[in-house]
Amino acid sequence: MSFHVITQAPARLNRSELAVPGSAPQMFEKAAASEADVIFLDLEDAVAPDDKAQARKNVIRALNEIDWGKKTMSVRINGLDTHYMYRDVVDVVEQAGERLDLIMIPKVGTAADVYAVDMLVTQIEDAKGYRKRIGFEHIIETALGMQNVSAIAAASKRNESLHFGVADYAASTRARTTNIGGVNPDYAVLTDRLEDGSRAVHWGDMWHYALARLVVAARANGLRPLDGPFGDFNDPEGYRAAAKRAAVLGCEGKWAIHPSQIALANEVMSPSEAEVTRAKRILEAMEKAAAEGKGAVSLDGRLIDYASIRQAEVLVQKARQIAG
Ligand code: GLV
Ligand code: MG
């Protein structure tokens, strides 16, 4: 291990993160009763310009008056390039800061963006005498944000998570798609000619690099990496496949832009019983190996060693966290 110690963000369950428009208060109670681990009340892209002020009021009221139980509550503020943003922060933190766990910052581009919001939130918290510190979640969804993702991840002690905002990322990088997430048949390779002269097409995942880059920056700074939206809420199979790819890369959760996606995210982002059982067997086998003075042994015909302990512990700790 490096001599550099990575401080981990507070351990929160973040398998599913439900997006709820701040302009749709009729959805709030249902969201509060859902199985989502985290809810973000949106003041940004799901809210039309004319509704911004009312949405802000709805969100403040909802944070103060609705029983959200043990859910982690977040508010997505508007971007730093808009004039809505300062009032989002000032009004929401001043008037509902005690029930707010996280602020989600969209389209964050540089470490200085994080610094600016940190400064503002710190002043408000101090003025109000809040004892709890509000954490930050950042959506990496522009070319600039992806270029600076490591600096952004390290920019504040409030940072808790990085989210891949695939829709805005596609727009910012001018990717040729109008879908929100998912695969694209044009991102494919052709095999060499098969025996019958035909060629098979293998679709690729055009988001692989971006998501993998984000996971590395998040983990190197002790933050949770999360995959963002999957727009086609009538395609649970497609959602599950995207969530599985993200989970395999190291993501802890995925957004739900529709209530039907919450259960899918919770399921995919929880280690299966088989995975946990195997992880426990690895830990037992390594304990036995250590007692016999061995560093590496074989389990079910495969080599395991000290790195296997660290891998297995990740799964066992996650299962423990889910069990509560
Ligand atoms: C999320 O905000 C996205 O742009 O995908
Ligand atoms: Mg976006």
How far is ligand 2, taken at its centre, from the CA of residue 166, in Å? Answer: 7
Compute the distance from residue 212 Cα to the ligand 1 centre, in Å.
17
289 C-alpha vs ligand 2 centroid, how far in Å?
A: 49
Chain centroid, CA 265 distance in Å: 11
Ligand 1 proximal residues by C-beta, below 6 Å: 106, 139, 141, 165-168, 228-229
pLDDT, residue 79, reads: 98
Compare 245 and 1 and report the one with higher pLDDT. 245
CA of 185 to the centre of ligand 1 (A): 21
User: Does the pLDDT value for residue 268 go beyond 90?
Assistant: yes
What is the pLDDT at residue 240? 98
Count the Cβ atoms, other than its own, within 10 Å of residue 138.
Answer: 30
pLDDT at residue 290, as a whole number: 92
Contact 138, 158 (CB under 8 A): no
What average pLDDT score do residues 265-285 get?
96
> Cβ–Cβ contacts within 10 Å for residue 88, how many?
24
Tell me the mean pLDDT in the region 154-159. Answer: 98
At residue 102, φ and ψ (nearest 5 deg) are: -140, 150
Q: Is the pLDDT of residue 324 over 90?
A: no
CA-CA distance, 155 to 166, in Å (whole number)? Answer: 22
Average model confidence (pLDDT) across the chain: 96
Residue whose CA is at the smallest distance from ligand 1 atom 2? 165
For residue 1, pLDDT over 90 is answered with no
Please list all protein residues whose beta carbon sits less than 5 angstroms from ligand 2, which is an ion.
Answer: 141, 165, 168
The predicted-structure confidence for 26-43, as pLDDT tens digits, reads as follows 999 999 999 999 999 999
Res 215: pLDDT:
98
